[in-house]
Structure 1
């Protein structure tokens, strides 16, 4: 560990030294050409010093970063374009010589390719077209009498704007990447929650089936058929993002029938459906509170157990409610079912659902409203 750290420090120190030398060379060339640094006659002397020190530090650190990431010949090749542009500007006594602007464009394209290779390759057609327009404009109007007053500022603005656009494109790509990353993360988390719901349900159902098999009950074959229908729904439709509400209702009805086969005691179950509008819903969502009602309600009571379920639709969404009684034993059960329901609702229907749960001494109620439009 110590050896790696020492090697890293030496490497960083070497990059900083080389970057400082190259930055100094650039400033010397800039001072000779008079076009790359702020001159003392342009501003107040203290401000002149501050601006140039800042520019030198920025150039130094940028070069050190480039040296640490890219081969030296690539960096020298790009800087060579800037050097040639400065030499051409200084030694060629031609008004608005035709070499400096193309070399500056090649320099910025080279820097862009080194620093932002993915962005450059992705938008290379737009970048080449933009710089092509700048060069074409430059060569068309550089020979006109009023070039210095009317056209040279346009060329300069084009160069500055194109560099700014590159930065904006890079920022947009980073934002898009972060957005996709968050979406993929949310999708992965949602899949984990789905996978927690299904095994939780099948674990309870297989326990029920095991009890019937031990008792050699005649209800076992019917239970297996219902379980087969439920498994078909969870395997095929359960992996979809959304399903028709009527399919989810059929799934709940099969689930209820499955439990009716199991119980020897009388359970009063009412299921009121008022489906006036067709809506889509996330699969295996509404069955969670139904499962909770059976597990913590019906199974805790010896007699007079009841479950009242209601599903209704409006033109804008779905309303679901469930009410059941239970035996209050003074113990709070903390299953994963309702916790997963809350998390899934927050991820699938953020700010578009209302979940309310109330509990009295022996009655538990849950209501859920979902906006689907």
Structure 2
């Protein structure tokens, strides 16, 4: 018992677990030698007292001592193995708990980052839309009430629907169309928009507000060339991929600024679709192009 306690509570945790194998082997030898010596002494004294100092009829100790020592050593070995198994089990559980805590913390951090990015997108989008409506109200144009209605639909989507982790592709596209309608009222005859879509599964779930900042950016930073601001939007959805493409006219020698909206979308894509998205932002002579592909 003494040897078992020495191994279990001193040698194993202090040397074996810490991978100090040389010291563990050395102190194990010392312990086993002392254990063997004390065991022999105990056996000798036990036999003497049991026989009342009568040596007649006593079985020669040389025949049984090795087996007794072997039994003691086997018990010690069993205790060592059991202690190591218990330690490995506890260590495995602790590692699993730490892994779960790390994953939970990482998910919470990503959620906080996404919430922060959304909060940056919403005021930016609202500010641009209100500026448009403000210009219409100053001019007292008849389109102002309809613009307010379109904006209210967009605000409902932004404030409530985007709090969800996923929305349907159909909802996202409907609100893109509402935004385009707002811009058509603002630009009047100077805007040419081509919006085409090929959707196989309109109820497919995607993260909200993925495409609208790109659309907003094309109107905000696009330039009127030859009397028109031209915007082309294509959305194609298949079983395994969603392809979003948008281009707008811009000045040939002017770098179009992407703004906070697109920068945030790039960060959100890295968080929401790691290794599952391909985003290309190109500027040609008189065109600014955004090409986004999502894999499912």
| TM tier, smaller | 0.7 to 0.9
Distance 1:198 1:296 in 2: 18
Identify which of 248, 255, 263 aligns with 2:179.
255
Question: In 2 relative to 1, CA 174–346 (structure 1 residues): closer, same or farther, beyond 3 Å?
Answer: same
Q: CA deviation at 1:153?
A: 3.9
Alignment deviations for residues 243-275 of structure 1 (CA, whole Å, 9 cap, x no partner): 110110001000100111122333111111101
Paired residue secondary structure (1:303): coil
Which residue of structure 2 lines up, in the alignment, with residue 224 of structure 1?
Answer: 148
Distance 1:184 1:275 in 2: 33
Counterpart mapping for 1:166-181 below 5 A: 166-181=90-105
Paired residue secondary structure (1:256): helix
Distance 2:273 2:126 in 1: 26
For the 8 Å contact 1:325–1:362, the answer to whether it is kept is yes
For the 8 Å contact 1:354–1:370, the answer to whether it is kept is yes
Instruction: Please say if 1:207 is aligned against 2:179.
Output: no
TM-score by length of 2: 0.74
Instruction: Please say if 1:237 is aligned against 2:161.
Output: yes
Identify which of 277, 292, 297 aligns with 2:217.
292
CA-atom RMSD in angstroms: 3.4
Instruction: Please say if 1:51 is aligned against 2:23.
Output: yes
Distance 2:10 2:71 in 1: 24
Give the gaps of 5 or more residues in structure 1: 1-29, 39-46, 56-88, 95-145
For the 8 Å contact 2:241–2:294, the answer to whether it is kept is yes
Distance 1:164 1:248 in 2: 51
Alignment deviations for residues 256-301 of structure 1 (CA, whole Å, 9 cap, x no partner): 0011112233311111110113421110111111111101115x55
For the 8 Å contact 2:221–2:256, the answer to whether it is kept is no
For the 8 Å contact 1:323–1:366, the answer to whether it is kept is yes
Paired residue secondary structure (1:367): strand
Aligned length: 249
Paired residue secondary structure (1:358): strand
TM-score by length of 1: 0.60
Which residue of structure 2 lines up, in the alignment, with residue 333 of structure 1?
Answer: 257
Distance 2:147 2:193 in 1: 18
Which residue of structure 2 lines up, in the alignment, with residue 79 of structure 1?
Answer: none
Question: In 2 relative to 1, CA 332–34 (structure 1 residues): closer, same or farther, beyond 3 Å?
Answer: closer
Counterpart mapping for 1:117-128 below 5 A: none
Alignment deviations for residues 290-343 of structure 1 (CA, whole Å, 9 cap, x no partner): 111101115x55712211111111111211101211234535525111111111
Distance 1:244 1:37 in 2: 62
For the 8 Å contact 1:293–1:324, the answer to whether it is kept is yes
Distance 2:264 2:191 in 1: 27
Q: CA deviation at 1:147?
A: 6.2
Q: CA deviation at 1:183?
A: 1.4
Distance 1:236 1:302 in 2: 40
Greater relative contact order, per chain length (Cα 8 Å cut-off, separation 6+): 2
Question: In 2 relative to 1, CA 256–34 (structure 1 residues): closer, same or farther, beyond 3 Å?
Answer: closer
Alignment deviations for residues 82-126 of structure 1 (CA, whole Å, 9 cap, x no partner): xxxxxxx99xx79xxxxxxxxxxxxxxxxxxxxxxxxxxxxxxxx
Distance 2:212 2:102 in 1: 34
Which residue of structure 2 lines up, in the alignment, with residue 189 of structure 1?
Answer: 113
Paired residue secondary structure (1:283): coil
Paired residue secondary structure (2:257): coil
Paired residue secondary structure (1:354): strand
For the 8 Å contact 2:250–2:256, the answer to whether it is kept is no
